[in-house]
Structure 1
Amino acid sequence: MKIQPSFPIKRRITRKKHFDESDDDANNNQEILAAEKAFEVDFFFVMVDTANTSLKNRFEELGVFKEIFGFLLSSSNLKSLDIIELRKCCTKFSQTFSRKDKLTNKVIYDVDLDDLFSELRMLQMTLPDEPMCATEMFDFIRNINYFPNISIAYRILFTIPVTVASAERSFSKLKLLKNYLRSAMSQERLNGLATICIEKDLLDQINVDNIISDFASKNSRRKCFT
């Protein structure tokens, strides 16, 4: 960070030094070294260990995410898999998103393993040669409308967030919406305003004039004056 550390040194009272006394400069240097060592042990090493642990946990979570959804992230990843590797990926995905029914005690899978494997094999031969990301592959699948299990898999992929940044942004918007002037706001209106603030990019694409005109036409208190 290019910040020069400066450690506070206690003011020492100067007095006349006799011939048999030790040098005060050595004691001052020892105090400076002790302050540097305390800063290194109590703050610097703790900060480095915390950052290292956080990064390690984050990359481990990303590694687990890649093991489950790696074959869906790009067309190059999907085409590079052979039959055995693709079968393993489909099995991992199917087992991850499965649940047991409490009434019948049967395992319910979100996607069928055999159907997903067959659709992915067909998709490997259908995809164009140019590289495609996950969103482009999902748009390609929706236009074809022929791979229902792959479509479900991509919906699960886009639903699960990799980080908590979007959730943190949502909470940061909440303190701007729910202030003391809006203490009587209902939950429905708060959800609507929060959605508008969070999805501002989609809101800019909507023609607000048509919505206002439609709302004004349906207002029962509106009167026509001639």
Structure 2
Amino acid sequence: MDISELEACCNDLHLSLTDEGDSDINGIDLLEELVDLRSFITIKKTPLEILEYLEEFDLIRLYPNTIVALRILLTLPVTVASGERSFSKLKLISQSKVSNLAILSIESELADKLDYSALIDEFAKLKVRRVQL
């Protein structure tokens, strides 16, 4: 793929991930990251291998747009059948729970830094149910 095609794809992805002026990625930055990444990953690798490579060598901060794009790519259904199965399962699960899980997956780096004990304590304060004996 040449640079002009890659630029068009990056801009399309940027527009697709934009909501009310906010975007999950920057198309121009994504293009620069991919061109830079292409220069030092010379062996053909799968998207999962590239994501694992970036995480293994702690390059997440250098390629934030690429990380988001790869995570989205890797969570998309591969076939129509898997998409249909996913759709039928979504009927059983609350849509808000699914979208919250997707956000946790995309923002896993931030989620890993959370102090779960403080979150559990806060949740317990909100959901206190006292039984009178």
- Report the 3-state secondary structure (helix = DSSP H, G, I; strand = E; otherwise coil) of the residue aligned with 2:77: coil
Tell me how far apart the structure 2 counterparts of residues 136 and 159 of structure 1 sit (CA, whole Å): 14
Tell me how far apart the structure 2 counterparts of residues 141 and 93 of structure 1 sit (CA, whole Å): 21
Are positions 1:168 and 2:85 aligned together? yes
Q: CA deviation at 1:87?
A: 0.7
Distance 1:109 1:82, change over 3 A: same
What runs of 5+ residues in structure 2 fail to find an aligned partner?
90-133
Taking CA–CA contacts closer than 8 Å with sequence separation of 6 or more, which of the two structures ends up with the larger relative contact order?
2
User: Which residue of the partner structure matches residue 176 of structure 1?
Assistant: none
Q: How many residues align?
A: 86
Residue in structure 2 matching 1:151, options 67, 86, 94: 67
Over aligned residues, Cα RMSD in angstroms? 2.6
Are positions 1:136 and 2:49 aligned together? yes
Q: CA deviation at 1:136?
A: 1.0
Residue in structure 2 matching 1:126, options 40, 48, 57: 40
Percentage of matched positions with identical amino acids: 26
Q: CA deviation at 1:154?
A: 0.8
> Which of the pair has more CA radius of gyration?
1
Q: Provide, for residues 55-77 of structure 1, a one-character-per-residue CA deviation record: whole Å limited to 9, x for no partner.
A: xxxxxxxxxxxxxxxxxxxxxxx
Q: CA deviation at 1:166?
A: 7.1
| TM-score, scaled to structure 2 | 0.54
What runs of 5+ residues in structure 1 fail to find an aligned partner?
1-80, 101-106, 173-226
- Report the 3-state secondary structure (helix = DSSP H, G, I; strand = E; otherwise coil) of the residue aligned with 1:150: helix
| TM-score, scaled to structure 1 | 0.34
Tell me how far apart the structure 2 counterparts of residues 122 and 143 of structure 1 sit (CA, whole Å): 18
- Report the 3-state secondary structure (helix = DSSP H, G, I; strand = E; otherwise coil) of the residue aligned with 2:22: strand
